[in-house]
A and B are shown apart, each in its own frame.
Chain A
Amino acid sequence: MSALYLLYQEDEKGDMMSNGYMGKILHINLTDRTVEERIIEESTYKRYLSGTGLGAYYLFNHMAENVDPLGPENMIGFMSGLLTGTGSVMTGRWSVVTKSPLTQGWGDANCGGNLSIEIKKCGYDGIFFQGRSQKPIYVHIADEKVRFIDGGDIWGKDAIESEKWLLSKYRQNGNLAVATIGPAGENQSLIAGISNDGGRYAARSGVGAVMGSKNLKALVLEGSHSIKAHNADRTKELTKAYASKVKKSELPSFVKGNMLPFMGFLSAKQKKHGPIDGAMTVAAMKRWGTISNNTLGMPNGDNPVKNWKGSIKDYPLKKYRRLNPDKIIAKETKKYRCHSCIIGCGGICDVTDIENMKSQQSHKPEYETINAFGPLLMNDDLDSLFAINDILNRGGMDSISAGNTVAFAMECFEQGVISSKDMGGLSLEWGNTSAIKVLLEQMIYRKGPGKIFSDGVKKAVERIGEVAAPYAMHIGGQEPGMHDPRMDPLLGIHFSADPTPGRHTIGATMYYNAMHLWEFVSWAPKVKAGSLKKDDFLNKKEVGLKTAASACVKQVLDGAGGCLFALASGLNHWPLFDYLNAVTGWDYTPDDYMEVGRRIQSLRQAFNIREGIRPMDNLLIGRLEGTPPLKEGPLAGNTLDTESMIKKHYEYMGWDHNGNPVL
């Protein structure tokens, strides 16, 4: 281990061990196997928090410009959250930061599981890798002790088996956490993710490919450091108050999954909306997790169908009722909770009755996976969705990007752009589940004709030809999450305007209405009860302020390691800003934290611009913005004026009309 050195000598040194953060990061060079601890000063945490913010700060300042994302100069960082392990709850999320090989710009991915706490217990707020190992390895870190271990035993194994192998080797040492790639990452698929805790995924931005490019199969962490809050009593008090509300939020037993389409239908009929009590969203999260949207989101148009060109008319109730979340939780043997989670939206399912599963237990599929391989592909076979979820979790591929890519392949097949002969006899008709599984295996292992789809839709167009371009749904190279901008224009703005485009987790109308930001932040517009939904399609100040506020608070959330579903339960219930002050000892106002969020978001954007990305190239295209509009279904006739709305968003982010931050 080389000597410590200060990144910023002029900064004052805070009390590192009692402010939530660990005060240092680890920088590992895989080429020469050198390891450096680097002190991070309190002023940096005050400006960027930890997590994604600290990651953006570090990469922007310490990585050369225009590096090859799959080359040794690229860095990949595993970041914990500022609030992780401090006695706060819903704060166990970790993130991966890197230059994305998928978008060629800023890349990050966010995950629950159990890695975040272990990063800090090893004594760090982030662990960065640079360089490239000559042969496959995994890195084992026990507190500050770093070991480079031959990965020959697990290279080639799927992500779940690799983690099992590592857990069996090290479990006797006590608590540990593993982040690993599957074959998709090893094969540097640009839509590969990183697995943790048996199939929780940091999936987006192609982060798994970067790990694979470094011959880094896995990261194994076991730490013993303690993490302290500045004011532990206050933190505990905040936790107790929130936990009490979560405990009380329950759905009565007579509420069943088959009622959800009716609620979705009623929702589609409403012309107005208003604030909701976020605490009341917790009950459904506790019961079903994200899969309540399988059927709730069909009648109101949230769920994309048939490669985004269809609607509920193509995938009617007789089909989507087969995705009733009750049928999924019937297989749930226990709830799954990420570190410090008290909601428990995850689940472990018994899948012994499903054909060709490689194990008896599996993580419950999330809504995104269900929709990306269900309605998007016109597939209504629920068992196949469990199997596909398992293929993706084991193979290590992002289900959102993979689903969009298979949908693209199916539409190319439908339009005669590719044939069964081109695909080695594979008949890619809509809803052909056996073909979907075969194609996925080919994509993951880069074998057979399906390998042309291994890197997502943008690369597939480059390989097939421009004739396929109209069917490729992506924004800036990344495939969009399973929520339709033609229903929610605010979501569409984030799809386009976020530095990692296509992300569904940055902001949306329903989230804005639930989180009650306006009660805390002076400039966040209040949502009036009875606001007209159609006004969200207008290029106006209120919409621009809402999307800017959502983007800023999301960066605060990701710096804190907080869960999006806690944010959705309302800041009036889950006290993000109070938590941050209690844990750090700072005396920031919510407006101050929003400026931190703006700074992080601007830095992510500045990274893109430095790498040659023009933000205005990331506009929603074609059917994603409703050009031409759908002719049928609840979103019929809806079109977004993406360009002007994004310019309004830029204005309230403090950026120029081309999206350049004014730093």
Chain B
Amino acid sequence: MKIKIYLPHFLHRDNVDEDGYLEMNPGSKLRDVYRKLRIPVLFCSIVFAYVNNEKASLDTPLEEGDIVSFVSFISGG
């Protein structure tokens, strides 16, 4: 199944296709996305994600077409 991924500017994007999709096995959970994106466990405290703009945990199940958005920052003033 395909999951739409929005990564913050501080993470690499090598496993995500140019439309921002990540191919996952059916039944995957959010923690599987972290694994596939090779986000170290230590980073989980600062790199966290919402699923379909709802708060999520690593055990949140994912479905085809879900949007996983990682926290991001924007500069300005």
Q: Which residues of A contact B (CB under 8 A)?
A: 245, 248-252, 254-255, 259-260, 262-264, 266-267, 270, 272-281, 283-285, 290, 292-293, 296-297, 302, 366-369, 371, 481-483, 504-505, 508, 510-511, 513-514, 528-530, 564-565, 568, 573
Distance to closest chain B CB from A257 (angstroms): 11
Residue of A259, A279, A366, A528 near B18 (CB, 8 A) is: A528
Q: What 14 new A-B contacts, CB under 8 Å, besides A250-B55, A264-B10? A: A255-B71, A262-B46, A266-B11, A267-B9, A272-B13, A275-B20, A276-B9, A277-B70, A278-B72, A281-B73, A284-B74, A290-B77, A511-B74, A565-B74
Q: Which residues of B contact A296 (CB under 8 A)?
A: 73, 75
**B17 in the interface (beta carbon within 8 A):** yes
**B61 in the interface (beta carbon within 8 A):** no
Distance to closest chain B CB from A275 (angstroms): 6
Distance to closest chain B CB from A111 (angstroms): 13
Subset of 28 A-B contacts with CB under 8 Å: A249-B53, A251-B71, A255-B45, A259-B46, A267-B8, A267-B10, A270-B11, A272-B13, A275-B6, A275-B20, A276-B9, A276-B72, A278-B72, A279-B53, A280-B8, A280-B50, A280-B71, A280-B72, A284-B71, A292-B73, A293-B73, A296-B73, A367-B77, A510-B74, A510-B75, A511-B74, A514-B74, A564-B76
B75 and A272 within 8 A (CB)? no
Distance to closest chain A CB from B12 (angstroms): 6
Provide the B1-33 mask, 1 if CB < 8 A to any CB of A, else 0. Answer: 000011111111110111110000000000000
Closest A residue to B50 using CB positions: A280
Q: Which residues of A contact B70 (CB under 8 A)?
A: 277, 280
**B34 in the interface (beta carbon within 8 A):** no
A279 and B20 within 8 A (CB)? no
Assess A483 versus B75: contact at CB under 8 Å? Given A272-B13, A280-B70. Answer: yes
Give the CA-CA distance A367 to B74 in the complex, in Å.
12
A274 and B16 within 8 A (CB)? yes
Residue of A276, A371, A505, A528 near B6 (CB, 8 A) is: A276
Assess A302 versus B75: contact at CB under 8 Å? Given A529-B20, A530-B18. Answer: yes
Query: What is the total of A-B residue contacts with beta carbons within 8 Å?
Result: 130
**B54 in the interface (beta carbon within 8 A):** yes
Closest A residue to B54 using CB positions: A248
Distance to closest chain A CB from B77 (angstroms): 3
Q: Which residues of B contact A (CB under 8 A)?
A: 5-14, 16-20, 45-46, 48, 50, 53-55, 67, 69-77
Residue of B10, B16, B46 near A530 (CB, 8 A) is: B16
Assess A367 versus B76: contact at CB under 8 Å? Given A270-B12, A280-B69, A530-B13. Answer: yes
Q: Which residues of A contact B9 (CB under 8 A)?
A: 267, 270, 273, 276, 510, 513
B7 and A529 within 8 A (CB)? yes
Q: Which residues of B contact A251 (CB under 8 A)?
A: 71
Distance to closest chain A CB from B4 (angstroms): 9
Give the CA-CA distance A278 to B70 in the complex, in Å.
10
Residue of B13, B46, B53, B67 near A255 (CB, 8 A) is: B46
A276 and B7 within 8 A (CB)? yes
Distance to closest chain B CB from A32 (angstroms): 41
Closest A residue to B21 using CB positions: A529
B71 and A283 within 8 A (CB)? yes
Q: Which residues of A contact B12 (CB under 8 A)?
A: 270, 272
Distance to closest chain B CB from A183 (angstroms): 24
Q: Which residues of A contact B17 (CB under 8 A)?
A: 529
Q: Which residues of A contact B73 (CB under 8 A)?
A: 260, 263, 281, 284, 292-293, 296
Q: Which residues of A contact B48 (CB under 8 A)?
A: 252, 255
Distance to closest chain B CB from A408 (angstroms): 20
A277 and B67 within 8 A (CB)? yes
A529 and B50 within 8 A (CB)? no
Q: Which residues of B contact A252 (CB under 8 A)?
A: 48
Residue of B45, B53, B76 near A290 (CB, 8 A) is: B76
Closest A residue to B47 using CB positions: A263
Closest A residue to B17 using CB positions: A529
Distance to closest chain A CB from B73 (angstroms): 5
Residue of B18, B67, B72, B75 near A529 (CB, 8 A) is: B18
Distance to closest chain B CB from A455 (angstroms): 22
Q: Which residues of A contact B6 (CB under 8 A)?
A: 275-277, 280
Give the top 5 A-B pairs by smallest Cβ distance, nearest first.
Answer: A368-B77, A277-B69, A277-B6, A266-B10, A367-B77
Q: Which residues of A contact B76 (CB under 8 A)?
A: 290, 293, 367, 504-505, 564-565, 568
